[in-house]
Amino acid sequence: MNASSPVMPAVLFTPERRTVLAERPEPAATYGQVLIEVDLTGICGSDLHAAELPVYAPGHILGHEVTGRVHSVGDGVDGWQPGQRVAINPNGNVCGTCRWCRAGRYNQCVRATMETAVGLQHDGGLAPRLLLAPSTLRPLPETMGRVEAAWVEPAATALRAVRLAGDVAGRTVLVTGGGPIGQLAIRLLRLAGAGRIVLTEPAAERRRFGVASGADETLAPDQAGEPAVAAVIECSGNAAATRQALGALEPGGTLVVVGGGPGSGLDPITILLKELVVRGSFTYLEEFDEVIPMLADGRLAVADLTTDVVPLAATLDAIASLRRASTMKVLVDPHR
Protein backbone atom coordinates (compact mmCIF):
# COMPACT_ATOMS: atom_id res chain seq x y z
CA MET A 1 0.00 0.00 0.00
CA ASN A 2 1.50 3.38 -0.95
CA ALA A 3 0.69 6.73 0.62
CA SER A 4 -2.03 7.53 -1.92
CA SER A 5 -3.99 4.26 -1.53
CA PRO A 6 -7.31 4.89 0.17
CA VAL A 7 -7.56 3.32 3.60
CA MET A 8 -10.48 2.57 5.90
CA PRO A 9 -10.78 1.90 9.62
CA ALA A 10 -11.31 -1.74 10.63
CA VAL A 11 -11.33 -4.09 13.60
CA LEU A 12 -8.44 -6.38 12.81
CA PHE A 13 -7.47 -9.78 14.23
CA THR A 14 -3.70 -9.40 14.04
CA PRO A 15 -1.00 -11.95 13.18
CA GLU A 16 -0.27 -11.91 16.95
CA ARG A 17 -3.92 -12.96 17.49
CA ARG A 18 -4.92 -9.69 19.11
CA THR A 19 -8.05 -7.67 18.29
CA VAL A 20 -7.17 -4.05 17.47
CA LEU A 21 -8.45 -0.99 15.62
CA ALA A 22 -6.35 -0.52 12.50
CA GLU A 23 -6.32 0.99 9.04
CA ARG A 24 -6.70 -1.32 6.06
CA PRO A 25 -6.63 -0.72 2.32
CA GLU A 26 -10.12 0.07 1.08
CA PRO A 27 -11.25 -2.74 -1.25
CA ALA A 28 -12.61 -2.17 -4.76
CA ALA A 29 -14.82 -4.51 -6.79
CA THR A 30 -12.70 -7.05 -8.66
CA TYR A 31 -13.54 -9.73 -11.20
CA GLY A 32 -16.18 -12.12 -9.91
CA GLN A 33 -16.58 -10.26 -6.61
CA VAL A 34 -19.11 -7.87 -5.12
CA LEU A 35 -18.24 -4.85 -2.98
CA ILE A 36 -20.60 -4.40 -0.04
CA GLU A 37 -21.27 -1.17 1.83
CA VAL A 38 -21.70 -2.43 5.38
CA ASP A 39 -24.73 -1.13 7.28
CA LEU A 40 -24.50 -3.00 10.59
CA THR A 41 -22.33 -5.81 11.93
CA GLY A 42 -23.10 -7.70 15.12
CA ILE A 43 -20.42 -8.73 17.58
CA CYS A 44 -20.68 -12.49 18.17
CA GLY A 45 -19.85 -14.28 21.41
CA SER A 46 -17.18 -16.25 19.58
CA ASP A 47 -15.46 -13.00 18.50
CA LEU A 48 -14.66 -12.47 22.19
CA HIS A 49 -12.66 -15.71 22.15
CA ALA A 50 -11.01 -15.28 18.75
CA ALA A 51 -7.53 -15.55 20.26
CA GLU A 52 -8.24 -19.08 21.55
CA LEU A 53 -10.33 -20.38 18.64
CA PRO A 54 -8.30 -21.93 15.78
CA VAL A 55 -11.14 -21.21 13.31
CA TYR A 56 -10.14 -17.52 13.51
CA ALA A 57 -7.24 -17.09 11.11
CA PRO A 58 -4.94 -14.16 11.92
CA GLY A 59 -4.61 -11.11 9.69
CA HIS A 60 -8.31 -10.61 8.86
CA ILE A 61 -10.99 -8.07 9.66
CA LEU A 62 -13.50 -9.50 12.15
CA GLY A 63 -17.30 -9.49 11.87
CA HIS A 64 -19.49 -12.33 10.54
CA GLU A 65 -23.00 -11.02 11.36
CA VAL A 66 -23.22 -8.52 8.52
CA THR A 67 -25.93 -6.64 6.66
CA GLY A 68 -25.54 -3.92 4.06
CA ARG A 69 -26.04 -3.00 0.42
CA VAL A 70 -24.30 -3.83 -2.81
CA HIS A 71 -21.95 -0.93 -3.55
CA SER A 72 -20.49 -2.11 -6.86
CA VAL A 73 -20.21 -5.30 -8.82
CA GLY A 74 -17.09 -6.73 -10.47
CA ASP A 75 -17.01 -8.00 -14.04
CA GLY A 76 -18.31 -11.52 -14.44
CA VAL A 77 -20.95 -11.22 -11.71
CA ASP A 78 -24.59 -11.75 -12.68
CA GLY A 79 -27.72 -11.12 -10.67
CA TRP A 80 -26.58 -8.36 -8.31
CA GLN A 81 -27.07 -4.62 -8.73
CA PRO A 82 -25.69 -1.64 -6.81
CA GLY A 83 -28.10 -0.61 -4.05
CA GLN A 84 -29.55 -4.07 -3.41
CA ARG A 85 -30.03 -4.81 0.25
CA VAL A 86 -28.31 -7.98 1.49
CA ALA A 87 -27.47 -10.16 4.46
CA ILE A 88 -24.11 -11.90 4.34
CA ASN A 89 -24.03 -15.67 4.79
CA PRO A 90 -20.48 -15.89 6.15
CA ASN A 91 -20.32 -19.59 5.25
CA GLY A 92 -21.72 -19.09 1.78
CA ASN A 93 -18.55 -19.41 -0.33
CA VAL A 94 -19.25 -23.09 -1.01
CA CYS A 95 -17.08 -25.00 -3.47
CA GLY A 96 -20.04 -26.83 -5.01
CA THR A 97 -17.97 -29.89 -5.85
CA CYS A 98 -16.91 -31.58 -2.59
CA ARG A 99 -18.88 -34.60 -1.39
CA TRP A 100 -20.65 -32.49 1.25
CA CYS A 101 -21.71 -29.82 -1.23
CA ARG A 102 -22.96 -32.51 -3.61
CA ALA A 103 -25.00 -33.98 -0.74
CA GLY A 104 -26.49 -30.57 0.12
CA ARG A 105 -24.64 -30.43 3.45
CA TYR A 106 -23.00 -27.10 2.70
CA ASN A 107 -22.19 -26.49 6.35
CA GLN A 108 -19.56 -29.24 6.06
CA CYS A 109 -17.87 -27.71 2.99
CA VAL A 110 -14.30 -27.09 4.13
CA ARG A 111 -13.76 -24.15 1.79
CA ALA A 112 -16.95 -22.40 2.93
CA THR A 113 -16.63 -22.93 6.68
CA MET A 114 -12.95 -23.46 7.45
CA GLU A 115 -10.98 -21.68 4.72
CA THR A 116 -12.96 -18.65 3.52
CA ALA A 117 -15.60 -17.97 6.19
CA VAL A 118 -16.32 -14.23 6.31
CA GLY A 119 -14.96 -12.60 9.46
CA LEU A 120 -12.97 -15.72 10.36
CA GLN A 121 -10.60 -16.65 7.52
CA HIS A 122 -11.73 -13.87 5.14
CA ASP A 123 -12.17 -10.16 5.88
CA GLY A 124 -15.43 -9.47 7.71
CA GLY A 125 -17.86 -6.64 8.31
CA LEU A 126 -16.23 -4.64 11.10
CA ALA A 127 -15.19 -2.07 8.48
CA PRO A 128 -17.13 0.25 6.15
CA ARG A 129 -16.66 -1.94 3.07
CA LEU A 130 -16.25 -5.60 2.32
CA LEU A 131 -15.36 -7.53 -0.85
CA LEU A 132 -17.20 -10.84 -1.18
CA ALA A 133 -18.04 -13.77 -3.41
CA PRO A 134 -21.61 -13.38 -4.69
CA SER A 135 -22.58 -16.78 -3.24
CA THR A 136 -22.35 -15.26 0.26
CA LEU A 137 -25.11 -12.71 -0.49
CA ARG A 138 -28.80 -13.17 0.35
CA PRO A 139 -31.41 -10.60 -0.69
CA LEU A 140 -33.33 -8.79 2.05
CA PRO A 141 -36.74 -7.12 1.70
CA GLU A 142 -36.63 -3.32 1.75
CA THR A 143 -39.36 -3.37 4.40
CA MET A 144 -37.22 -5.26 6.91
CA GLY A 145 -36.03 -3.29 9.94
CA ARG A 146 -32.39 -2.30 10.07
CA VAL A 147 -31.68 -3.96 13.41
CA GLU A 148 -33.63 -7.09 12.44
CA ALA A 149 -31.47 -7.46 9.32
CA ALA A 150 -28.36 -7.61 11.48
CA TRP A 151 -29.74 -10.62 13.39
CA VAL A 152 -30.12 -13.00 10.44
CA GLU A 153 -26.90 -14.94 11.06
CA PRO A 154 -27.34 -15.64 14.80
CA ALA A 155 -31.06 -16.32 14.28
CA ALA A 156 -30.21 -18.91 11.62
CA THR A 157 -27.78 -20.56 14.04
CA ALA A 158 -30.47 -20.75 16.73
CA LEU A 159 -33.14 -22.03 14.33
CA ARG A 160 -30.99 -24.96 13.24
CA ALA A 161 -30.26 -25.89 16.87
CA VAL A 162 -33.97 -25.83 17.73
CA ARG A 163 -34.83 -27.90 14.63
CA LEU A 164 -32.26 -30.54 15.55
CA ALA A 165 -33.98 -31.01 18.92
CA GLY A 166 -36.79 -32.76 17.00
CA ASP A 167 -40.50 -32.33 17.64
CA VAL A 168 -40.74 -30.17 20.76
CA ALA A 169 -44.51 -29.51 20.58
CA GLY A 170 -45.92 -29.89 24.08
CA ARG A 171 -42.58 -31.10 25.48
CA THR A 172 -40.34 -29.66 28.18
CA VAL A 173 -37.09 -28.18 26.85
CA LEU A 174 -34.09 -26.86 28.77
CA VAL A 175 -31.92 -24.07 27.35
CA THR A 176 -28.51 -23.74 28.99
CA GLY A 177 -26.92 -20.31 28.54
CA GLY A 178 -28.91 -17.09 28.19
CA GLY A 179 -26.78 -15.16 25.70
CA PRO A 180 -28.16 -14.11 22.31
CA ILE A 181 -28.33 -17.66 20.90
CA GLY A 182 -30.06 -18.92 24.05
CA GLN A 183 -32.61 -16.09 23.96
CA LEU A 184 -33.30 -16.71 20.27
CA ALA A 185 -33.64 -20.44 20.98
CA ILE A 186 -36.27 -19.74 23.65
CA ARG A 187 -38.24 -17.53 21.24
CA LEU A 188 -38.02 -20.13 18.48
CA LEU A 189 -39.02 -22.94 20.86
CA ARG A 190 -42.13 -20.92 21.75
CA LEU A 191 -42.94 -20.56 18.06
CA ALA A 192 -42.42 -24.33 17.67
CA GLY A 193 -45.01 -24.99 20.37
CA ALA A 194 -42.77 -26.24 23.18
CA GLY A 195 -44.86 -27.04 26.26
CA ARG A 196 -42.50 -25.77 28.92
CA ILE A 197 -39.19 -23.94 28.51
CA VAL A 198 -36.58 -23.69 31.27
CA LEU A 199 -33.46 -21.51 31.09
CA THR A 200 -30.35 -21.97 33.22
CA GLU A 201 -28.01 -18.96 33.22
CA PRO A 202 -25.66 -17.54 35.88
CA ALA A 203 -26.21 -13.81 35.14
CA ALA A 204 -29.41 -12.42 36.74
CA GLU A 205 -29.76 -9.82 33.98
CA ARG A 206 -29.77 -12.53 31.34
CA ARG A 207 -32.29 -14.59 33.32
CA ARG A 208 -34.59 -11.54 33.17
CA PHE A 209 -34.17 -11.51 29.40
CA GLY A 210 -35.10 -15.20 29.48
CA VAL A 211 -38.48 -14.33 30.99
CA ALA A 212 -39.02 -11.72 28.28
CA SER A 213 -38.09 -14.32 25.67
CA GLY A 214 -40.83 -16.61 26.96
CA ALA A 215 -39.11 -19.02 29.35
CA ASP A 216 -41.52 -20.51 31.90
CA GLU A 217 -38.78 -20.82 34.48
CA THR A 218 -35.29 -19.32 34.78
CA LEU A 219 -32.72 -20.78 37.14
CA ALA A 220 -29.18 -20.07 38.25
CA PRO A 221 -27.03 -23.13 37.47
CA ASP A 222 -26.73 -24.03 41.17
CA GLN A 223 -30.52 -24.18 41.58
CA ALA A 224 -32.14 -27.56 41.08
CA GLY A 225 -32.78 -28.26 37.40
CA GLU A 226 -35.76 -29.93 35.80
CA PRO A 227 -35.66 -33.64 36.57
CA ALA A 228 -36.81 -34.80 33.14
CA VAL A 229 -36.67 -32.76 29.98
CA ALA A 230 -37.17 -34.07 26.45
CA ALA A 231 -34.44 -31.92 24.93
CA VAL A 232 -31.67 -29.53 25.86
CA ILE A 233 -30.34 -26.73 23.67
CA GLU A 234 -26.81 -26.21 25.03
CA CYS A 235 -25.85 -22.61 24.23
CA SER A 236 -23.32 -21.86 26.97
CA GLY A 237 -20.20 -23.74 25.89
CA ASN A 238 -19.71 -24.39 29.60
CA ALA A 239 -18.62 -27.89 30.69
CA ALA A 240 -20.62 -27.85 33.93
CA ALA A 241 -23.75 -26.73 32.08
CA THR A 242 -23.28 -29.53 29.55
CA ARG A 243 -22.89 -32.08 32.34
CA GLN A 244 -26.02 -30.73 34.03
CA ALA A 245 -27.86 -30.92 30.72
CA LEU A 246 -27.12 -34.64 30.38
CA GLY A 247 -28.40 -35.21 33.90
CA ALA A 248 -31.65 -33.36 33.19
CA LEU A 249 -32.54 -35.33 30.05
CA GLU A 250 -35.17 -38.05 30.23
CA PRO A 251 -34.45 -41.43 28.60
CA GLY A 252 -34.28 -41.07 24.83
CA GLY A 253 -33.86 -37.30 25.14
CA THR A 254 -31.79 -35.15 22.79
CA LEU A 255 -28.91 -32.85 23.63
CA VAL A 256 -28.20 -30.27 20.92
CA VAL A 257 -24.72 -28.76 21.27
CA VAL A 258 -24.60 -25.30 19.68
CA GLY A 259 -22.36 -23.54 22.23
CA GLY A 260 -18.96 -25.14 21.84
CA GLY A 261 -16.51 -24.84 24.70
CA PRO A 262 -13.45 -26.65 25.98
CA GLY A 263 -14.04 -29.80 28.06
CA SER A 264 -17.29 -31.48 27.14
CA GLY A 265 -18.69 -32.68 30.46
CA LEU A 266 -20.29 -35.53 28.48
CA ASP A 267 -20.43 -38.72 30.55
CA PRO A 268 -20.65 -41.83 28.33
CA ILE A 269 -22.37 -43.86 31.07
CA THR A 270 -25.23 -41.35 31.29
CA ILE A 271 -25.53 -41.31 27.49
CA LEU A 272 -25.58 -45.11 27.44
CA LEU A 273 -28.00 -45.75 30.31
CA LYS A 274 -30.60 -43.24 29.13
CA GLU A 275 -30.00 -43.91 25.41
CA LEU A 276 -29.52 -40.19 24.87
CA VAL A 277 -29.03 -38.57 21.48
CA VAL A 278 -26.20 -36.01 21.31
CA ARG A 279 -26.28 -33.78 18.24
CA GLY A 280 -23.97 -31.01 17.14
CA SER A 281 -25.49 -27.99 15.40
CA PHE A 282 -23.03 -26.17 13.17
CA THR A 283 -24.02 -22.93 11.46
CA TYR A 284 -27.07 -23.43 9.16
CA LEU A 285 -28.33 -24.61 5.81
CA GLU A 286 -31.73 -23.39 4.57
CA GLU A 287 -32.29 -21.84 8.01
CA PHE A 288 -30.40 -18.75 6.83
CA ASP A 289 -33.09 -17.94 4.27
CA GLU A 290 -35.94 -19.10 6.52
CA VAL A 291 -35.28 -16.65 9.36
CA ILE A 292 -35.38 -13.62 7.04
CA PRO A 293 -39.21 -13.48 6.78
CA MET A 294 -39.55 -14.40 10.47
CA LEU A 295 -37.41 -11.40 11.46
CA ALA A 296 -38.98 -9.14 8.82
CA ASP A 297 -42.59 -9.72 9.92
CA GLY A 298 -41.89 -9.66 13.66
CA ARG A 299 -42.62 -13.31 14.49
CA LEU A 300 -39.07 -13.42 15.82
CA ALA A 301 -38.53 -10.20 17.80
CA VAL A 302 -34.97 -9.02 18.41
CA ALA A 303 -35.17 -5.26 19.06
CA ASP A 304 -35.28 -5.77 22.84
CA LEU A 305 -32.19 -8.00 22.67
CA THR A 306 -30.20 -5.26 20.91
CA THR A 307 -28.38 -3.42 23.67
CA ASP A 308 -26.71 -0.76 21.59
CA VAL A 309 -25.59 0.40 18.15
CA VAL A 310 -22.08 1.83 18.38
CA PRO A 311 -19.50 3.35 16.02
CA LEU A 312 -16.55 1.26 14.87
CA ALA A 313 -14.19 3.09 17.24
CA ALA A 314 -16.24 1.80 20.21
CA THR A 315 -15.97 -1.87 19.19
CA LEU A 316 -13.20 -2.80 21.63
CA ASP A 317 -15.17 -1.29 24.54
CA ALA A 318 -18.26 -3.16 23.35
CA ILE A 319 -16.30 -6.44 23.32
CA ALA A 320 -15.20 -5.77 26.91
CA SER A 321 -18.80 -5.18 28.04
CA LEU A 322 -19.95 -8.38 26.30
CA ARG A 323 -17.21 -10.26 28.13
CA ARG A 324 -18.71 -9.07 31.41
CA ALA A 325 -22.15 -10.23 30.16
CA SER A 326 -23.39 -6.72 30.98
CA THR A 327 -24.84 -6.38 27.47
CA MET A 328 -26.74 -8.78 25.21
CA LYS A 329 -26.05 -7.85 21.57
CA VAL A 330 -24.08 -4.87 20.35
CA LEU A 331 -24.27 -3.87 16.69
CA VAL A 332 -21.53 -1.82 15.06
CA ASP A 333 -22.32 0.89 12.51
CA PRO A 334 -19.02 1.47 10.66
CA HIS A 335 -20.32 4.66 9.03
CA ARG A 336 -21.26 6.42 12.23
- Which positions lie near Zn ion, rule CB under 5 A? 44, 46, 95, 98, 101, 109
Question: Least distance in Å: CB of 123 to Zn ion?
Answer: 16
Alpha carbon 68 to its chain centroid, in Å, reads 17
The nearer residue to Zn ion, 62 or 229, going by C-beta atoms, is 62
Q: Is 222 exposed, middle or buried (0-12, 13-18, 19+ CB in 10 A)?
A: exposed
C-alpha 312/C-alpha 72 separation (Å) is 22
The nearer residue to Zn ion, 73 or 322, going by C-beta atoms, is 322
Question: Least distance in Å: CB of 45 to Zn ion?
Answer: 7
Question: Least distance in Å: CB of 256 to Zn ion?
Answer: 16
Residues facing 89 on adjacent strands: none
Question: Least distance in Å: CB of 42 to Zn ion?
Answer: 8
The nearer residue to Zn ion, 18 or 102, going by C-beta atoms, is 102
Question: Least distance in Å: CB of 231 to Zn ion?
Answer: 22
The nearer residue to Zn ion, 73 or 258, going by C-beta atoms, is 258
3-state DSSP percent of the chain in helix, strand and coil, to 5: 30, 25, 45
The nearer residue to Zn ion, 177 or 225, going by C-beta atoms, is 177
The nearer residue to Zn ion, 46 or 200, going by C-beta atoms, is 46
Question: Least distance in Å: CB of 120 to Zn ion?
Answer: 9
Q: Length of the chain, please?
A: 336
C-alpha 245/C-alpha 2 separation (Å) is 55
The nearer residue to Zn ion, 93 or 176, going by C-beta atoms, is 93
Alpha-helical regions (H) of the chain: 99-102, 110, 146-149, 152-164, 180-191, 204-213, 239-248, 268-273, 287-296, 315-323
Question: Least distance in Å: CB of 175 to Zn ion?
Answer: 17
Q: Is 262 exposed, middle or buried (0-12, 13-18, 19+ CB in 10 A)?
A: exposed
> In Å, what is the CA distance from 119 to each residue of 21, 84, 113, 203?
15, 21, 11, 28
C-alpha 293/C-alpha 248 separation (Å) is 34
